[in-house]
Amino acid sequence: MERDIAEIDGLERAVIEDVEPAVDAGRFPAKRVIGDVVRVRADVFADGHDAVAARVLWRKAGSGDWRESHMEPIGNDRFEGRFTVDDLGCWEFTVEAWVDAFAGWRSDLAKRIDAGQDVSIPVAVGAGLVDEAAGRARGASAKRLLGWAARLRELSGGRSGDPRTALADELAGLMTEHPDRTHAVRHPRVMPIEVDREKARFSAWYEFFPRSTGPGVQHGTFATAAEFLPYVRELGFDVVYLPPIHPIGHSKRKGANNAVEANPGDPGSPWAIGSEEGGHTAVHPELGTLADFRAFRERAEELELEVALDVAFQCSPDHPYVTEHPEWFRHRPDGSIQFAENPPKKYEDIYPLDFETAAWRELWEELREVFRFWIGQGVRIFRVDNPHTKSLAFWEWAIGTIRDEHPDVIFLAEAFTRPKLMYRLAKLGFTQSYTYFTWRSSKWELTEYVRELTRRPVVDFYRPSFWPNTPDILTARLREGGRPAFVSRLVLAATLSSNYGIYGPAYELMEAERRDPASEEYRHSEKYEIKDRDVDRADSLRELIARLNGARRDNPALHHTDNVTFHPVDAEDLIAYSKRDPEGGNVVLVVVNLDPGHRHAGFVDLDLSALGVEADDVFEVHDLLGGGRYRWRGPRNYVELDPRVLPAHVFRVRRKLPRARLASAPDPL
């Protein structure tokens, strides 16, 4: 397409390309948490050999004036700048670049001086550039620049001084602060950054059913669930996640083990939402009242636990929406409402909402009000059931408007679906997401999957949450591997990802009986019946879980997911990886035996630079799970893990041991 020459500034010579972080070229925001330093990189160059300079411009969205910071060259025409996000919500940045006449002059002058050439004329040219900068400066900076211009003119006249004076860092710094940006080029796209609170990046979730907290198999209440909270806190979790707490439908209610017909007294599935007692903004009367729920939430907060609620946009046949808004559901040719199906499975106790209804605007607004209602009850975290089966445009609109009002709200997507759809949901606003970790078990699978999640561009928008089990999923590894498998999967989830969760008490009690050979569903699933469990059982994993969560809490290296380094091990069933916190002061090394049935040993070939260890350093690794301490030297070190004892090491690395410690250190075990 021909451009009008009148619209072109032929003196704009700088080029800006490949700006990051950028999600789909800036269509969606990159994600950070409050206090993060955002590293902005871009390719910046111009025709010829002239030097270029660049700055990153940033601001809180809607705040007006841009703030700026200098970008430094890092090689191959790539520049990097940084800024800190210190408030929740949407931020934005862009990059500006220009031909830097002074930097080019300075580089050429140094070469001429080194070659022994006469530099009087080049120094005079430099004096003119400094004079121009003084005109752009104000106050003390202007006076200092005028002084420098005078000194350069003296140098150019050959009256006195060393011409290398013109290369002084002080002058270069002043010129960097007052560049000539008359013909600067600004990148045409403003890149958004969504800033969340810290819990978006680092959290440990514990899921339990409040109705299973009563005595025996009596229906629990919010009051009995509140009595269970100290146990959850003792385990070291910081988010307590409740399945739907709403009234449960009676029509087509499922019985135990997903039986098509329920027996008298069967409680039904909490995901069959709605009855004559209310819908998505009501609570199941056997659990209590809204006031009882608020008391439960307040008790959780006293224990430094945050409550997450399940939001499942689907209805039982008894939901008030069915009679009040039949247009929100899809109808079959006989006029009846279409129930949920995943052929050959039928879910007659659930009616999906029709996001293609002609009344979609009214439906959208009603569903957004569900979130607003529970936000009004003090909830700031939501786990969303099957969001990939609802309108993507709805999620972008609903989450965007809610976060405009409440930027501290966190959304976890329960989307076990195709990767691109999972990623799209994250781009549209979901803070965290369930992942395929649940089914990744071999060394190769785990390594490749974590590398996929921690590479750009995925790492800029997708925050994985690793769950080894859910009420719907009992994997083959847990079914067949016994206690060692439960321990190893727990350690992998809690240390590979900074966000993880378990469905308990099923997990710590190692429940592993499946409904039938072709299913991943639990036998006697809690989705359809009330459970009576003894969390004080002697074989429970509760103490180990508490130690592991304590290690997560106390080691900043485990507060991030994108800092994983894998280390080769010469045993296929041993996996080793480390994490180092961004400040570099804390390093954790994890080694896991992936085979629950056999002892394995081998040598780990450590990337010492990833640990911050020099080649000749003697360093100590302290096992935060087993308690042992080992003295290691160099990159190649021996490990041995018997799953019958403990299938994993979670080492804190202590680098550069003091000499007194070296003299008394025990030999490696």
**CB 58 within 8 Å of CB 38:** yes
Sequence-separated (6 or more) residues with CB below 8 Å from residue 232: 206, 208, 240, 303, 305
Tell me the two tokens of residue 448.
């490749």
- In this structure, what DSSP letter does residue 515 have? S
- What kind and span of H or E run contains 490? helix 476-496
Using alpha carbons, select from 67, 60, 97 the residue that is nearest to residue 180: 97
Q: How far, CA to CA in Å, does 161 sit from each of 48, 129, 156?
A: 33, 20, 10
CA-based torsion, 335, 340, 346, 348: positive or negative: negative
Of the candidates 271, 205, 203, which has an alpha carbon nearest to the alpha carbon of residue 502?
A: 205
State the number of CA atoms in the 13 A half-sphere of 198 facing the CB: 6
Which residue type, as a one-letter code, is found at position 281? T
Instruction: Please say whether the beta carbons of 596 and 647 come within 8 A.
Output: yes
Query: What backbone phi and psi angles, to 5 degrees, belong to 294?
Result: -65, -40
Of 180, 414, 511, 526, the active-site residue reads: 414
Q: Are 206 and 232 in contact (CB under 8 A)?
A: yes
Do strands 499-503 and 203-207 pair parallel, antiparallel, or not at all (unpaired)? Answer: parallel
Catalytic residue status for 572? no
**Parallel, antiparallel, or unpaired: how do β-strands 30-33 and 306-311 relate?**
unpaired
**Distance between the two ends of the chain, CA-based, in angstroms?**
72
The C-alpha atoms of residue 277 and residue 282 are separated, in whole angstroms, by 7
Pairing of strands 410-414, 381-385: parallel
Tell me the CB-side half-sphere exposure of residue 444, using CA atoms within 13 A. Answer: 1
Name the DSSP class of 540.
-
Assess whether 169 carries a catalytic annotation.
Answer: no
Alpha-carbon span 491 to 497, nearest angstrom = 10
Amino acid at 192: P
Q: Sign of the C-alpha dihedral, residues 218, 222, 223, 227?
A: positive
Place of tokens 């103490």: 543
Contacts of 327 (CB under 8 A, 6+ apart): 357, 358, 359
Tell which residue, 377, 370, 419, has the closest CA to residue 398.
Answer: 370
DSSP 158: T
Q: Dihedral of CA 450/454/456/458: which sign?
A: positive
3-state secondary structure 429-480: CCCEEECHHHHCCCHHHHHHHHHHHCCCCHHHCCCEEECCCECCECCHHHHH
CA distances from 366 to 108, 313, 427 (A): 67, 11, 23
- Count Cβ atoms within 10 A of the Cβ of residue 423 and give its class: 0-12 exposed, 13-18 middle, 19 or more buried: middle
Burial class (CB in 10 A: 0-12, 13-18, 19+), 508: buried
Count, residues in the chain: 669
3-state secondary structure of 138: coil
| Residue of 196, 385, 526, 620 marked active site | 385
Decide: 415 and 434 in contact? Cβ < 8 Å: yes
The set of catalytic residues is 385, 414
